[in-house]
Structure formats: structure tokens, C-alpha cells
């Protein structure tokens, strides 16, 4: 009969972790169990027992090394021994590493859903593990913020906190803990839109908009969506394009971007909107000097003016309808030294900076006339000019603008005056100011001159000499009238004496003082008084008489009634007896008709 057989049973198992308690139980076939056995335990390959006990249990309180174990039983009676048990190899392994994997990340944003998963090394995952979560407050239970499912913990991030996972194999009290995981919760970053070159751009410029996240978040896998005036304008395949480029910008618009971390929809955040304003390119204008209508051979200056505060322009000139520039320069002046053909010109500006170009100017048509013009000289006076007056000369140029006028007078050294306008005035003119005058016009640099005008004569008369002549004329008229009245009076007197036959009557028969007053309308000079001594010979048989005529100026009732300087003149005629003459002469006078001589003094 065979000896009873011993068997070793290992609890919790032949594979344990360092530090676990291992219980070895030596079991002998059933119908021999009631006998008083003593149990001997052997380890390794030694034949000497390492432990004996009346109990069939051998406990290893903290497993550390793996080895072989077996047992057998002994007793005082029969059978005295059992068979040796099979060798049991006890495998002691290092403690399993427990880790916590966080999804999406240990750094999350407020409101995100975070999943923590407690994971054992893959080789031990087949064991029946149990999990427990805890934070600095203690054990984590299922609640509004926490959802526990086997080895996972799902939370809604609201604040930063530490978490730890504890695990053990079912039925084995030994627990294993993960390291604490610190979950950082931050406010969701807001993206910023950067605009290049500027939020104010010129029509046609290329604009680049860049959606930027704060530096310490850029390592995350961001996706970007672009919107223009509430309409989505760009969505790339992987949403990784943070730059929006518009090659030819023409209309003011509002832009913003929406950012989202890939796989984390709760991180979607809209940037602040940015308004991009479109400004018209600065306008170029062509200024033509002296005028758009010129004469053959004139120098024409075209000036390209750009309405902007920007500097460092280069000016491009175009002619006719060609799109190829005919001239470019850093100077905005284009000079045609000798105009010949009519054509169209325009310009625009270009520069290295912004704006890179101006608008094209309007086309300017340059009209070239064939013949040189001739000035026409006129005066505002006709005939002779009195000294002291003002004379205005006019040099007429009916064609175009921009002329200066050059005035010439014929002297020993021909004088030249220059005016901006067509008029040349000589104030308080003198006799020496008279003479030959002519003019011409000129414009541009170098000056283009017209032909000379025809010569114009200006005659100047001294007003004082003219006044004396007028005065003499007035005196002559007054004397003539006085003599006429005196002659009429003497004729009547002679007729009277003839009828009475008093040929030999003494002149004393006539009143020595006889005043005759006559009135005549005549022009009078400024002196108001004229004295004239004259002798009048009267034929007829009358005595020799002396007469004094006083001419006096009539007082004017009012200045307004003076017309042509006409005065009322009184003539006083005084008859005086002539001194005795020689008898010889007296006889001669009687023989010739007894004519008397009357002397008249006019005052």
C-alpha cells in the first residue's frame, strides 16, 4: 500500500508581489487527516526541513524571493510518514506600477470634461483588480462632478485639484497606489487677430490675418475657423491654418476667428472681431505749366502731384494710350523742352513702402498751336493827354493763360517794365512820359515770348499852356465884342453930328465923362479880370474923342449855374477931348473928311 500523499496549496497563489502574505497549506489525503501528523517544510533543493509544525499552514508574511517549496507529514504510529508533496514554485514579482492617464490633458480649461483612467501594467491586467479614487479631500464618490466607472473617473473641470488611484486584486488585501496627478484648470484663452500690414489698408493690397493664441498654449493642437461679416470664409482639412490671406482687398469688412483644440470641442472660443478698413489709393494729379494749350517750341512742365503725406515716391509717366511708361524719376517734374505734337499724358506714383502705388491721374491733353501769337496794344485815351491825368495801356492776349507782360518805351535806352496783368498805368503823366510804346507777352522757363505789338503813340500836352491859350482866347473875344459895340456907338454918334452939320464943333460939346454900359455873354479866364488899351480910328466928320472902357466880371449867383465859364461884362466908355494938334494936320483932316480919332481904354 502506498504512503498517503501530501499536497501543497498556495494562497493567494504561486505568483505574488513583493510584500504580499503567502500561505502554504500542506494537505494529506483525507482519511489520514485525523491522525496526529507533524508537518515538515522544505525549501529549495535542501533535504533539511526549514520549518516543522503541528499545523499544516506555513505563512510567509512578506514575500521577497521566489523559491520552491514542498512538504511531507510524519507521525509516531503507522504510517510513520507521507509521501513528499510536489514542489511548488513561489514566484515573487515587483510591485505592479499603477499609473493614471488623463484625457485630454492634465492642463485643461474651465468647463472641459476630463477622464482619469487608472491603469496597471499590461502583464497584470488579467487579474481581478478593484479601483478606488481619492483626492486631497478623501475618497471620491460618484456625484454631479464625478462619474466612477471601473478604472475611470470622469469629472467636469472647475478648479485645479490632485487625484490618486488605489487598486488591489480582488481577495487580496494588498493595495497599490498611483502617484498623485495634479489637474490644472485654467480659463479658456481668447485668440487675437493680428492684421498685416495694418487694419487700414489701401485698395488692392494683400492683407494677412493671423489668429494667435497666447504663447504657452501654442504647443496644443489648435484648429482655426475664419469668419468675415458672420460668414465662414476658410475651413482647412485639418483646421490647422491660423492665417487668412486676401490677395486683393477691396471692401471694408469685419473678421474674427474661432479656435478649438483638436478633439476638445468644449475649447471652442471666438476671438475679438477686428475691422479692416479699405482706403482709396492716393490720387495723382497732373499740373501743366504754363497751360495745356501751348505754341510750337514752348517749354512745357508737367508736375505729378500725389495727395498724401507719404514720401519717397517714384513717378512714372505715360504718353498717348500706351501702358508702357515713357519716363520715370524720383522727381515729380517731367519737362518737354520744345513742344511739337499734341498728345495725352498721365502719371502715377510707386514706392517701396505702403501704399505701393497711387491711382493713375486723369489724362491731360497737350494742345500745340503752330504760329507764334502777337500782342495788341491799346490805350484808354484818344488824342492828346493832359499832364496830371492817368493813362491805362492794355496789352491784349486772347489765347490761354500764364502770361507775363513786358512794356517798352522808345528812349535812348529802351525801357522795359513787367506786369502780371494786361494793364500798365501811368499816373500823374508828364510831358516826358509821352512817346512810343509797345508790348509783348512771355511765359514759361525759359521764357517763351510772343511777337511785339504795333507801336502806340501817347501825346502829352502841358495843362498850364492849354489854360493860357484858353485865357487869351477869352480875352480876344471880349476885346472884339467891346470894339464892335464901340464902333457901332461911334457910327451912331457920327451920323448924329452929320445931321446937325456941326463939323467944326469943338469936342467939348460932348460930355467929358460918358459912361456906356453894355452886356455880353462870353467865356472868361480864371483871373476874372482883363485890361486892354486900344486905339480905334473912325472915319467921318467927328471930333477926336478919348474913351476908356472898363470890363468887369459879373458875380456868379452859384457854382452850379456856371456853364462854360460865361460871364456878364460891363463896359464903361469915357470920352475925353484930344489935345490940340497942329494946324497943318487939322487942315489935312478936314480935307480928308474931318475924321476924328477916339481912344478907348477897356478894363
Could you give the CA distance from residue 27 to residue 7 in angstroms, rounded to a whole number?
5
CATH number of domain containing 318: 2.60.40.10
In which region does residue 559 sit, left (phi positive, over 0), alpha (psi from -120 to 50) or beta (all else)? alpha
Could you give the CA distance from residue 363 to residue 50 in angstroms, rounded to a whole number?
117
Taking residues 255-281, what's their average pLDDT? 89
Q: Are residues 40 and 142 in the same domain?
A: no
Give pLDDT, residue 276: 94
Residue 233, all three cell numbers:
470664409
Tell whether 466 is covered by a domain. no
Q: Are residues 202 and 250 in the same domain?
A: yes
The span from the first CA to the last CA of the chain, in angstroms, equals 209
Measured CA to CA in angstroms, residue 502 lies from 498, 541, 574 at distances of 7, 9, 21
Taking residues 540-548, what's their average pLDDT? 39
Tell whether 364 is covered by a domain. yes
Model confidence pLDDT, tens digit, residues 41-64: 988 877 677 888 888 888 888 877
Give pLDDT, residue 514: 36
Q: Are residues 78 and 15 in the same domain?
A: yes
- Of 66-70, 419-423, 506-510, give the lowest mean pLDDT range: 506-510
Q: Are residues 105 and 86 in the same domain?
A: no
439 close to 421: Cβ distance less than 8 angstroms: no
Omega before 197 cis (within 30°)? yes
Q: Are residues 594 and 491 in the same domain?
A: yes
More confident residue, 224 or 415: 224
Which of 279, 309, 341 finishes a domain? 279
- Of 199-203, 247-251, 563-567, give the lowest mean pLDDT range: 563-567
Could you give the CA distance from residue 510 to residue 256 in angstroms, rounded to a whole number?
135
Could you give the CA distance from residue 347 to residue 416 in angstroms, rounded to a whole number?
40
Give pLDDT, residue 51: 81
Taking residues 245-249, what's their average pLDDT? 84
Please, what is the Cα angle at 314 between 308 and 315, to 5 degrees? 85
Tell whether 136 is covered by a domain. yes
- Of 413-422, 478-487, 511-520, give the lowest mean pLDDT range: 511-520
- Of 153-167, 444-458, 464-478, give the lowest mean pLDDT range: 464-478
- Of 356-360, 380-384, 418-422, give the lowest mean pLDDT range: 380-384
Q: Are residues 422 and 504 in the same domain?
A: no
Tell whether 58 is covered by a domain. yes
Residue 80, all three cell numbers:
510513520
**Res 174 pLDDT > 80:** yes
Query: Residue 41: what are its φ and ψ, rounded to 5°?
Result: -115, 130
What residues have CB less than 8 Å from 187, skipping those under 6 apart?
109, 110
257 close to 193: Cβ distance less than 8 angstroms: yes
Measured CA to CA in angstroms, residue 298 lies from 181, 373, 446, 447 at distances of 91, 12, 9, 8
Tell whether 327 is covered by a domain. yes
Taking residues 113-118, what's their average pLDDT? 92
For 272, the domain range is 192-279
Number of Cα atoms under 13 Å in the Cβ half of residue 43? 10
Taking residues 380-404, what's their average pLDDT? 86
* Mean confidence (pLDDT) of the chain: 78
Could you give the CA distance from residue 510 to residue 575 in angstroms, rounded to a whole number?
8
Please, what is the Cα angle at 264 between 260 and 270, to 5 degrees? 25
> In the 8-state DSSP scheme, what is residue 122?
G
Split into its structural domains, the chain has a count of: 6
Q: Are residues 174 and 212 in the same domain?
A: no
Q: Which of 414, 409, 406, 408 is nearest to 435 (CA)?
A: 409
Instruction: Considering only the C-alpha atoms of the chain, give the largest distance between any 2 of them, rounded to a whole number of Å.
Output: 241
Give pLDDT, residue 79: 79
What confidence tier does 493 reach under pLDDT thresholds 50, 70, 90? Answer: confident
Could you give the CA distance from residue 589 to residue 596 in angstroms, rounded to a whole number?
8
Residue 584, all three cell numbers:
497943318
Measured CA to CA in angstroms, residue 436 lies from 375, 454, 455, 521 at distances of 16, 10, 6, 42
What confidence tier does 33 reach under pLDDT thresholds 50, 70, 90? Answer: low
Q: Are residues 494 and 585 in the same domain?
A: yes
Q: Are residues 228 and 290 in the same domain?
A: no
Model confidence pLDDT, tens digit, residues 1-19: 788 899 999 998 888 888 8
Burial class (CB in 10 A: 0-12, 13-18, 19+), 88: middle
**Res 100 pLDDT > 90:** yes
Tell whether 1 is covered by a domain. no
**Res 393 pLDDT > 90:** yes
**Res 423 pLDDT > 90:** yes
More confident residue, 533 or 266: 266
Could you give the CA distance from residue 141 to residue 174 in angstroms, rounded to a whole number?
21
Tell whether 140 is covered by a domain. yes
More confident residue, 113 or 506: 113
Give pLDDT, residue 523: 35
Omega before 355 cis (within 30°)? yes
Give pLDDT, residue 150: 81
**Res 303 pLDDT > 60:** yes
- Of 71-75, 197-201, 294-298, 558-562, give the lowest mean pLDDT range: 558-562
Q: Are residues 358 and 380 in the same domain?
A: no
Residue 525, all three cell numbers:
479866364
Give pLDDT, residue 53: 86
Taking residues 125-147, what's their average pLDDT? 77
How would you classify the pairing of strands 274-279 and 284-289?
unpaired
**Res 273 pLDDT > 90:** yes
Could you give the CA distance from residue 322 to residue 224 in angstroms, rounded to a whole number?
46
What confidence tier does 381 reach under pLDDT thresholds 50, 70, 90? Answer: confident
What confidence tier does 240 reach under pLDDT thresholds 50, 70, 90? Answer: low
Q: What are the strands of the beta sheet with 146-149, ordered from one edge? A: 98-103, 113-120, 152-156, 146-149
What residues have CB less than 8 Å from 291, skipping those under 6 apart?
400, 401, 402, 443
Taking residues 298-305, what's their average pLDDT? 92
Which of 345, 369, 393 finishes a domain? 369
**Res 538 pLDDT > 70:** no
325 close to 349: Cβ distance less than 8 angstroms: no
What residues have CB less than 8 Å from 323, skipping those under 6 apart?
none
How many C-beta neighbours within 10 Å does residue 211 have?
A: 22
More confident residue, 251 or 284: 284
153 close to 111: Cβ distance less than 8 angstroms: no
**Res 549 pLDDT > 60:** no
What residues have CB less than 8 Å from 463, skipping those under 6 apart?
386, 387, 388
More confident residue, 553 or 492: 492
Give pLDDT, residue 234: 67
Which of 279, 300, 333 finishes a domain? 279
Q: Are residues 197 and 317 in the same domain?
A: no
**Res 587 pLDDT > 50:** no
**Res 515 pLDDT > 50:** no
**Res 302 pLDDT > 50:** yes
Residue 277, all three cell numbers:
478698413
Could you give the CA distance from residue 223 to residue 241 in angstroms, rounded to a whole number?
7
Beta bridge partners of 329: 315
283 close to 306: Cβ distance less than 8 angstroms: yes
Q: Are residues 109 and 182 in the same domain?
A: yes
Amino acid at each position: 500500500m502506498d504512503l498517503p500523499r501530501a499536497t501543497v496549496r498556495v494562497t493567494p497563489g504561486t505568483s505574488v508581489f513583493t510584500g504580499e502574505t503567502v500561505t502554504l497549506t500542506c494537505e494529506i489525503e483525507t482519511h489520514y487527516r485525523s491522525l496526529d501528523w507533524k508537518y515538515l517544510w522544505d525549501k529549495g533543493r535542501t533535504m533539511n526541513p526549514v520549518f516543522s509544525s503541528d499545523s499544516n499552514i506555513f505563512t510567509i508574511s512578506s514575500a521577497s524571493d521566489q523559491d520552491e517549496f514542498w512538504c511531507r507529514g510524519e507521525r509516531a504510529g503507522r504510517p510513520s510518514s507521507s509521501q513528499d508533496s510536489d514542489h511548488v514554485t513561489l514566484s515573487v514579482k515587483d510591485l505592479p506600477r499603477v499609473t493614471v492617464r488623463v484625457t485630454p490633458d492634465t492642463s485643461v480649461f474651465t468647463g472641459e470634461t476630463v477622464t482619469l483612467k487608472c491603469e496597471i501594467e499590461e502583464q497584470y491586467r488579467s487579474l481581478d483588480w478593484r479601483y478606488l479614487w481619492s483626492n486631497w479631500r478623501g475618497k471620491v464618490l460618484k456625484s454631479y462632478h464625478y462619474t466612477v466607472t471601473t478604472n475611470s473617473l470622469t469629472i467636469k473641470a472647475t478648479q485645479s485639484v490632485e487625484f490618486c488611484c488605489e487598486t488591489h486584486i480582488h481577495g487580496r488585501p494588498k493595495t497599490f497606489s498611483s502617484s498623485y496627478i495634479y489637474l490644472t484648470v485654467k480659463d479658456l484663452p481668447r485668440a487675437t487677430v493680428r492684421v498685416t500690414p495694418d487694419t487700414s489698408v489701401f485698395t488692392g493690397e494683400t492683407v494677412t490675418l493671423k489668429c494667435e493664441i497666447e504663447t504657452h498654449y501654442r504647443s496644443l493642437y489648435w484648429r482655426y475657423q475664419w469668419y468675415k461679416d458672420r460668414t465662414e470664409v476658410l475651413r482647412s482639412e485639418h483646421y490647422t491654418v491660423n492665417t487668412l490671406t486676401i490677395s486683393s482687398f477691396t471692401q471694408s469688412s469685419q473678421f474674427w476667428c474661432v479656435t478649438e483644440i483638436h478633439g476638445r470641442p468644449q475649447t471652442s472660443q471666438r476671438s475679438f472681431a477686428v475691422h479692416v478698413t479699405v482706403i482709396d489709393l492716393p490720387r495723382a494729379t497732373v499740373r501743366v505749366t504754363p497751360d495745356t494749350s501751348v505754341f510750337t517750341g514752348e517749354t512745357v512742365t508737367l508736375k505729378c502731384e500725389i495727395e498724401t503725406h507719404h514720401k519717397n515716391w517714384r513717378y512714372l509717366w505715360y504718353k498717348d494710350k500706351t501702358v508702357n511708361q515713357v519716363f520715370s524719376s524720383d522727381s515729380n517734374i517731367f519737362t518737354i523742352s520744345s513742344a511739337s505734337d499734341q498728345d495725352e499724358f498721365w502719371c502715377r506714383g510707386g514706392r517701396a513702402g505702403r501704399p505701393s502705388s497711387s491711382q493713375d491721374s486723369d489724362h491731360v491733353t497737350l494742345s500745340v498751336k503752330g504760329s507764334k501769337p502777337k500782342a495788341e496794344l491799346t490805350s484808354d485815351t484818344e488824342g492828346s493827354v493832359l499832364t496830371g491825368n492817368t493813362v491805362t495801356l492794355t496789352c491784349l492776349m486772347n489765347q490761354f493763360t500764364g502770361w507775363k507782360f513786358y512794356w517798352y518805351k522808345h528812349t535812348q535806352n529802351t525801357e522795359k517794365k513787367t506786369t502780371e496783368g494786361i494793364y500798365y498805368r501811368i499816373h500823374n503823366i508828364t510831358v516826358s512820359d509821352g512817346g512810343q510804346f509797345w508790348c509783348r507777352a512771355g511765359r514759361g522757363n525759359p521764357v517763351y515770348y510772343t511777337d511785339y505789338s504795333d507801336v502806340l503813340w501817347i501825346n502829352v500836352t502841358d495843362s498850364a499852356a492849354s489854360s493860357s491859350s484858353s485865357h487869351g482866347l477869352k480875352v480876344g473875344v471880349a476885346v472884339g465884342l467891346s470894339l464892335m459895340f464901340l464902333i457901332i456907338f461911334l457910327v451912331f454918334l457920327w451920323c448924329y453930328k452929320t445931321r446937325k452939320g456941326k463939323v467944326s464943333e469943338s469936342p467939348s460939346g460932348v460930355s467929358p465923362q460918358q459912361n456906356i454900359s453894355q452886356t455880353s455873354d462870353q467865356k472868361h479866364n480864371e483871373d476874372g479880370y482883363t485890361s486892354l488899351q486900344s486905339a480905334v480910328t473912325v472915319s467921318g466928320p467927328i471930333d477926336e474923342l478919348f474913351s476908356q472902357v472898363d470890363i468887369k466880371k459879373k458875380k456868379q449867383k452859384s457854382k452850379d449855374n456856371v456853364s462854360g465859364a460865361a460871364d456878364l461884362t460891363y463896359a464903361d466908355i469915357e470920352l475925353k477931348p484930344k489935345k490940340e494938334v497942329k494946324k497943318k494936320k487939322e487942315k489935312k483932316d478936314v480935307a480928308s473928311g474931318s475924321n476924328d480919332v477916339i481912344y478907348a481904354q477897356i478894363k
